[in-house]
Amino acid sequence: MEPSQTGGEAPPALRMRGIRKSFPGVLALDGVDLEVRAGEVHVLLGENGAGKSTLMKILSGALRSDSGTIELAGRGVAIAGPAHAQALGIRIIYQELNLVPQLSAAENIFLGCEPTRGFGVVDRARLEREAGEKLAALGVRVDPVRPVQELGIAQQQMVEVAKALHGEARVLIMDEPTSALTESEIEVLFAAIQSLTARGVAIVYISHRLEEVERIGTRVSVLRDGRHVATHRVGELSLAELVRLMANRELKEHFPKRRVARGEELLRVEGLRGGILQDVAFSVHRGEVVALAGLLGAGRTEVARAITGADPPQAGRVSVHGRELALRAPRDAIRRGMGFLPEDRKTQGLVLERSVAENLALPSAPRLSRFGWMKRAAERALAAAAVADLRIKTPSLEQKVVLLSGGNQQKVVLGKWLAADVDLLVIDEPTRGIDVAAKVEIYEEMNRLTAKGAGILMVSSELLEVLGMSDRILVMRQGRIVAELDARGATQEQVLRAALGQAA
């Protein structure tokens, strides 16, 4: 553990000790310590799922820890909720901005605590003057009367910062503040951050951009597997050493991966563009699982949605079995044997209020009907077979899917595509939010599929899952594939380094 060499000085602005938090089936934080001093920019690093956002949610009152203590300037506090955290001087700026686009910068800054002239009449002159002062104090030029929707992203972010600094802000948490900014906008933000630290605000800065650690950070802490791994002054460690600290997660689960001989090419993607995607090209062969790895926002889900027709790509060629697809809608891909398990099964994968049987049969309905009439016996047989094959735990085929557990729901989504006889599956987060036993069953099913000659493209935020369940790993960063690794020889560090843009 990092020795806290405060040596008789004032206590740190923030001290979190032994913070534990578990969610059903997952220990998200396992006794994390974190100390942030007034006037420093404390960079928090960690891989997807390391526990950064859970820790910050606890600090900002959005979640309650199971155990552990929090001190602000040496005084112990029990944070009761977001409003309480705010009253204590803890502010958080999320990655997505939370502004009302139609309101002016000034109105947004004072939203909910407008200065009034009595009887609820807003004192507009004072509102605009004070908002202008706050923005000027951050060293930015933003017209306080303009609607924020007319401002650039960086300016909007400044409005968000000004809003967060209401009253006495002691700790400001910034979650990936630069992810949507251009280089010159980042300069503006960093200048504002420096003016804040000069005023003694303690800043917790979460970022995936390692180069920013050296530019803006004072100290850096690394989280891994819900534990605090190290805290160092910036400059004490090289970026490579930081990456090493973030990687090397413990292999807690056993991945039942079985490798089979790679067969002919099933899917070929060339020159895929649109949104953040830039010239993405890759292929998937029979019998292999290709993993798309990368940080959140790297473009993995966008690739999955583009090639399956969920969001047809602006440009690029997608060929299945050597024939190019005309992708306008998901059915164009499905007709050629491609199934898609979307990222969020509840909003994209299932019709929750309908039965297990109806959900399982949905993509196969054309095959299960003649002249528009459902062949009900065939429909039931198909559903019963899927329930048996995947060991879906349900009291009956008529059970509403909403009443099943997360793991069984995921099996229903998988079952839809097995029943539809696809030989190419695109799976976005195959095991998100499901218990360990169901995870293993999903993995086993992936094995069975590849053994039968299917190909799988797996998008996953779980580094261990990527390494444990794939044959080839494609690492994405900022809309491009930046590395291709053989899963057998690959290490966590290699994948992470590519995802973070740190060339080997």
Partner 1 sequence: MSAARWLAHQGRQVGTLAGLVLLSGLLSILSPHFLSVSNLLNVLEQTAINAVIAVGMTFVIVSGGIDLSVGSIVAFSGVLLASALQAGLPVPLAVAAGLAAGALCGLLNGLLVTRGRLPPFIATLGMMSVARGMALVFTEGRPVSGFEAGFRSLATGRVLGVPTPVLAAALVYVAAHLLLTRTRFGRYVYAIGGNEEATRLSGVAVRFHKTMVYVLCGATSAIAAVLLTARLNSAQPIAGIMYELDAIAATVIGGTSLLGGSGSLGGTLVGALIMGVLRNGLNLLGVSSFLQQIVIGVVIIVAVLVDSMLKRPGR
Residues in contact with partner 1 by the rule CB under 8 A: 308, 310, 329-331, 334-335, 340, 342, 347-354, 358, 361-363, 365-366, 368-369, 372-374, 376, 398, 403, 416
CB of residue 395 vs partner 1: minimum separation in angstroms? 10
- Comparing CB distances to partner 1, the nearer of 136 and 329 is 329
In the block, tokens 């099933």 appear at: 266
- Comparing CB distances to partner 1, the nearer of 144 and 330 is 330
- Comparing CB distances to partner 1, the nearer of 328 and 393 is 328
- Comparing CB distances to partner 1, the nearer of 65 and 408 is 408
- Comparing CB distances to partner 1, the nearer of 282 and 340 is 340
Instruction: Let me know the angle formed at the C-alpha of 335 by 331 and 337, rounded to the nearest 5 degrees.
Output: 115
> Can you list the alpha helix ranges (DSSP code H) found in 396-435?
406-419
Residue 223 near residue 50, CB atoms below 8 Å: yes
CB of residue 371 vs partner 1: minimum separation in angstroms? 9
**Looking at residue 251, what DSSP letter applies?**
-
Residue 287 to residue 342: CA distance in whole angstroms:
21
Taken as a whole, the chain contains a residue count of 504
CB of residue 283 vs partner 1: minimum separation in angstroms? 23
Residue 195 near residue 138, CB atoms below 8 Å: yes
Residue 266 near residue 472, CB atoms below 8 Å: no
CB atoms < 10 A from the CB of 333, how many?
Answer: 25
**Looking at residue 347, what DSSP letter applies?**
I
CB of residue 334 vs partner 1: minimum separation in angstroms? 4
CB of residue 384 vs partner 1: minimum separation in angstroms? 15
- Comparing CB distances to partner 1, the nearer of 337 and 468 is 337
- Comparing CB distances to partner 1, the nearer of 153 and 329 is 329
CB atoms < 10 A from the CB of 283, how many?
Answer: 16
How many DSSP H helices and E strands does the chain contain?
Answer: 16, 22
- 210 — alpha (psi -120 to 50), left (phi > 0) or beta? alpha
- Beta bridge partners of residue 101, listed in sequence order: none
CB of residue 365 vs partner 1: minimum separation in angstroms? 5
